[in-house]
Chain A
Amino acid sequence: MKKLKMPGTDRIARVGWLKANEWLLLRRASQLFILGLFLIGPVADIWIVKGNLASSLTLDTLALTDPYVLLQSLFAGHMMQATAIIGALIVLIFYLLVGGRVYCSWVCPINIITDTANWLRKKLDIKGQGLRFSLKTGYWLLAMTLILAFITKTIAWELVNPVSMVYRGILYGMGSAWLMVLAIFMFDLFVSRRGWCSHLCPVGIFYGLLGSKSILRITAMNREQCNDCMDCFSVCPEPQVIKPALKILTEDKNPLIQSGRCTNCARCIDVCDQNVFSFTTRFNKQDGMHLHQQKEIMP
């Protein structure tokens, strides 16, 4: 059997590794920078941001709260104080601007773990999907966490939520949270391809709901350049979102990736040797090349 070709090989050959991974590197920088902002407090006693992703206080003025946790708390029967509600609204508006699942690809620490697992999966030449979950599973899980909060009167999901657990662990003490990280890594590596982030995690699904309405989007603007190398499908954590835009299957035929499940990770931009993809807003439905990109393509 033919060994899997690593996506992005062509673009790396043409523009170099750095340029062909720039969005990935930016994302990693963003994820680590945000973690660093939190971490510099307990480590170096420089308090820029306090708290964790559930709720934080920046420079003693900006209070932010995770709207998903707030929603769970509401289902559990607690009406929060204004501080938390305003903080959650700010977060909501932010993700409505930049894309809901920007949380997943630019902030969430688990993303680094599952991306690594998936990369290793390709390196180890593990083929196929493995354990298969319906793409709807996450919605069920999201509903389950809210119903469970309502029944148990506890924010039950936060007992096991790996996303908050890892952040809290790094900032306040890990306990057995490492086991959870290891479990997710192993799960994505050996059990189910892209199992956690793309199929199960209710946090991602929640932010994905915001993402379906958000402003900043990826567009397959130069789709007529596509040479069907499949690199974007191979690298995309949610490959099903690309097809309607790339293959002109939407009703209004526009090249925007419209699904809220797109994480705006921009790996498709990184790996595409034909510069099909770029960032734009949801209002820009035009097809065709940007001028500056034309220059880059023509040798």
Chain B
Amino acid sequence: MTEASQKSGAMSRRQFLSDTAKTACGVSLFGFGLGMYSQQARSLPPLAVRPPGALAEDEFASACIRCGLCVRDCPYDTLKLGRFGDDVLTGTPYFTARDVPCEMCDDIPCLKACPTGALDPELEIIDDARMGLAALIDQETCLNFQGLRCEVCYRICPLIEEAITLDLQHNQRSGDHAFFIPVVHSDACTGCGKCEHACVLPEAAIKVMPRKLAKGKSAEHYRLGWEEKQKAGGSLVNPDVQHEYNLPAGVEYEHGGRGLIEEKVEAVPFSGNPLDTLKQHKADLQ
């Protein structure tokens, strides 16, 4: 080898190394940026709901290839694909319950269309879908919480009396009436969003959210005494001792009833009938 060719060889090696380093650095930088972006973009916005059978969000991001076949087979045009620039992971399917809710087709065509398994084919009955969870998050505006009888969310629920029930409570404001409080049951709610869609308020008081957001979790060690008692068929500890109250003579306490009873005062309770009061007054005068 001549000196000249050795020299040019050395130069080209240097050239090669610097080129390779340049490319590697550029590509890594781009990759780093894309990686950060992907981590940021993968957090689903709270009001976007995935189609029925969608894998957990983490797995979904690796399984969905963004082909949109589920969108095409949705007969109600509920589903749409996240567009570039939207909050939803580019190209992945979702729906906004307030706009168009899931109609919960029995044959689940969106899931059947999925070629990858991102919509889990093991979901066979639509009632078992868990797209999200409805939560009545604004008690201040919900009409039923004001004592009115709206109940549209309850009536429209495809699983009425299972996913949403009405819980009767005393209306202290009027004294005579009941509150019909809609209560969502997470063991039955599919997250279809028909309640949110139907809510009559300009801004829905009941909203479908990812289950992770909408659902609390009790501590692992929590046990509810009355449930355990029912399971065991009897008290798990020694039976409660009847509580004895230390009260002055002539005074009694009735737990879960009238409360403190001072027998000395023989108050004549006013009768509901005003005539009785008049008669009583007449008797007192005589």
Contact = CB atoms under 8 A, between A and B. Distances in A.
Contacts of A114: none
B90 to A, nearest CB: 5
A247 to B, nearest CB: 21
Chain B at the A interface: mostly helix, strand, loop or mixed? helix
Interface residues of B, number: 47
B35 interface: yes
A265 interface: no
Contacts of B28: 144
Interface string B49-90: 000000000110111111111011100000011011110011
A73 interface: yes
Given A87-B115, A148-B31, A175 B66 contact: no
Name the residue in B20, B89, B117 with the highest tally of chain A Cβ atoms < 10 Å from its Cβ: B117
B34 A160 contact: yes
Given A80-B115, A177-B84, A51 B62 contact: no
Given A144-B31, A158-B91, A172 B83 contact: yes
A147 interface: yes
Interface string A51-75: 1101111000001011001100100
A47 B113 CA distance: 14
B41 interface: yes
A57 B80 CA distance: 18
A148 B59 CA distance: 15
Contacts, number: 167
A134 interface: yes
Contact of B65 (A70, A145, A180): A70
9 cross-chain pairs, A with B, having the tightest CB-CB distances, nearest first: A175-B83, A176-B85, A76-B62, A55-B67, A156-B38, A78-B63, A154-B61, A54-B67, A140-B27
Given A65-B116, A80-B63, 17 more contacts: A51-B69, A54-B66, A73-B65, A78-B62, A78-B118, A81-B121, A84-B65, A134-B19, A137-B23, A137-B26, A144-B31, A145-B31, A156-B38, A160-B34, A168-B68, A168-B91, A177-B84
Interface of B: 19-20, 22-24, 26-28, 30-31, 34-35, 37-39, 41-42, 58-59, 61-69, 71-73, 80-81, 83-86, 89-91, 113-118, 121
